[in-house]
Chains A and B, each alone.
Chain A
């Protein structure tokens, strides 16, 4: 069980933010902050990832893609929401095209505050996410407030 926590693979998805958070994530992969020390890799593939790292306010176009990515990740999995936009929309709050954060779409385990968060905060949040991930099991997890018609619409009804 403890060996498992040494290899969290990250799926990073930007749901329409300003790319500031994404640049910070790239910096975290670089020589100075190197998150591969913890065995973390940025896989970019939902089927092989353990941590979903979401940035950006969820735009209406992105909403179902985010749901679908979440459902494609095999359990145990953890969602880490990063940046002010994911918390409630940030500077995009109450605009006509956003969903005001990820809270109503996928169940979030760790929130990383800041706009943009410092890289130390990102690493801290990811480690916190790994701690939560250690306690999770293969039990299936679901979206927030989903219905069967929604699952059918995004093609995830018969997984």
Chain B
């Protein structure tokens, strides 16, 4: 019952998280910032714009991105298998990139290519995180992880660091906001969406917030307090990194993911498999 409610309200929770993010970001820059409900004001505004599309397939792919992200969330909460949910998340990203490749705007195509590089960078780490959860708790079921008697963070410190390193890539935050690079390719894959169709993409991004921070929450295991603390800590850390760094090259992102984050996660899993306490 709780899982169904959480799935249904995922866009609303994500919207609140995005609102909090914008306020926190503004306060870090010593601005006042927008009201907390700003994402929902944007939502209403985009709804009232004249629908304008490049072609129907492009607009449809925007909506597919929203639906499949939400579906990945539903699979995560109801299907009870983390690995399958990760693969459904890949499908949603593919819908976005197919849509972005289907228009002639060079910014859109460049954004789609970079989005795929993002996918190549963060997805192996996410899969390693899921594998590590399996080694600790013996299950891909998130309920088993949440009722495990140990705190997974204590056995998986390096995997947690690897996950924190990939969150800026997944949510397009500053050192790795290569795909949507706002001063460079003005939004990347979502540049050609407008009005209600942009709304679908915009809301899909909110669900990604919930999806990612749920993975962080799982590191607390049955101790929900630790999980909540981890989510708050990670959120603030990501905001601080976002505000204090400049955008990097895509090669640097790929190298960072493949030569630092993945080895970190693998070393942790290696020691875990040997039975040692890493």
A residues near B32, Cβ cutoff 8 Å: 34, 36-37
B residues near A76, Cβ cutoff 8 Å: 48-50
A residues near B31, Cβ cutoff 8 Å: 30-31, 34, 36
Q: Which of A41-49, A61-69, A89-97, A114-122 contacts B (4 or more CB under 8 A)?
A: A41-49
Q: Are A39 and B191 in contact (CB under 8 A)?
A: no
Count of A-B contacts judged by CB separation below 8 Å: 77
B residues near A38, Cβ cutoff 8 Å: 34
Q: Are B34 and A36 in contact (CB under 8 A)?
A: yes
CB of B241 closer than 8 Å to a CB of A: no
A residues near B33, Cβ cutoff 8 Å: 34, 36-37
CB of A99 closer than 8 Å to a CB of B: no
A117→B43 CA distance, assembly (Å) = 32
Q: A3-B44, A34-B31, A34-B32 are in contact. Are A47 and B193 (CB under 8 A)?
A: yes
A-contact 0/1 string along B18-33, CB 8 Å cutoff: 0000100010011111
CB of A24 closer than 8 Å to a CB of B: no
A34→B75 CA distance, assembly (Å) = 41
Q: How many residues of A contact B (CB 8 A)?
A: 24
CB of B195 closer than 8 Å to a CB of A: yes
8 Å CB contacts to B: which residues of A39-87?
39, 43-45, 47-48, 50, 74-76
Q: A3-B45, A48-B198 are in contact. Are A75 and B191 (CB under 8 A)?
A: no
CB of A153 closer than 8 Å to a CB of B: no
A74→B194 CA distance, assembly (Å) = 8
Q: Are A45 and B191 in contact (CB under 8 A)?
A: yes
Nearest residue, chain B, Cβ from A32: B31
Nearest residue, chain B, Cβ from A34: B31
Q: Are A4 and B192 in contact (CB under 8 A)?
A: no
* Interface class of chain A by DSSP: loop
CB of A7 closer than 8 Å to a CB of B: yes
Q: Which of B90-98, B180-188, B212-220, B267-275 contacts A (4 or more CB under 8 A)?
A: B180-188
Q: Are A34 and B26 in contact (CB under 8 A)?
A: yes
CB of B35 closer than 8 Å to a CB of A: yes
A-contact 0/1 string along B164-189, CB 8 Å cutoff: 00000000000000000011001100
Q: Are B42 and A74 in contact (CB under 8 A)?
A: no
CB of B229 closer than 8 Å to a CB of A: no
A76→B22 CA distance, assembly (Å) = 25
* Choice from B42, B49, B51, B183 contacting A39 with Cβ under 8 Å: B42
Nearest residue, chain A, Cβ from B22: A36
Q: Are A47 and B198 in contact (CB under 8 A)?
A: yes
Q: Are B44 and A4 in contact (CB under 8 A)?
A: yes
Nearest residue, chain A, Cβ from B30: A31
Report the contact-size class of chain B (Cβ under 8 Å from the partner).
20 to 34
CB of B41 closer than 8 Å to a CB of A: yes
A75→B51 CA distance, assembly (Å) = 9
B-contact 0/1 string along A1-45, CB 8 Å cutoff: 001101110000000000000000000001100101111000111
Q: Are A48 and B29 in contact (CB under 8 A)?
A: no
A45→B187 CA distance, assembly (Å) = 8
CB of A152 closer than 8 Å to a CB of B: no
Q: Are A44 and B50 in contact (CB under 8 A)?
A: no
18 extra interface residue pairs, beta carbon distance < 8 Å, beyond A36-B22, A75-B50: A3-B41, A3-B44, A4-B45, A4-B48, A6-B35, A6-B38, A6-B41, A7-B41, A7-B42, A31-B30, A34-B31, A39-B41, A45-B191, A48-B194, A50-B45, A74-B51, A76-B50, A138-B49
Can you offer 17 A-B residue contacts whose CB atoms are under 8 A?
A3-B44, A4-B41, A4-B44, A4-B48, A6-B41, A36-B33, A44-B186, A45-B186, A47-B193, A47-B198, A48-B193, A48-B194, A74-B49, A74-B52, A75-B50, A76-B48, A159-B52
Residues on B lying within 8 angstroms of A by beta carbon are 22, 26, 29-35, 38, 40-42, 44-45, 48-52, 182-183, 186-187, 191-195, 198
Residues on A lying within 8 angstroms of B by beta carbon are 3-4, 6-8, 30-31, 34, 36-39, 43-45, 47-48, 50, 74-76, 138, 140, 159
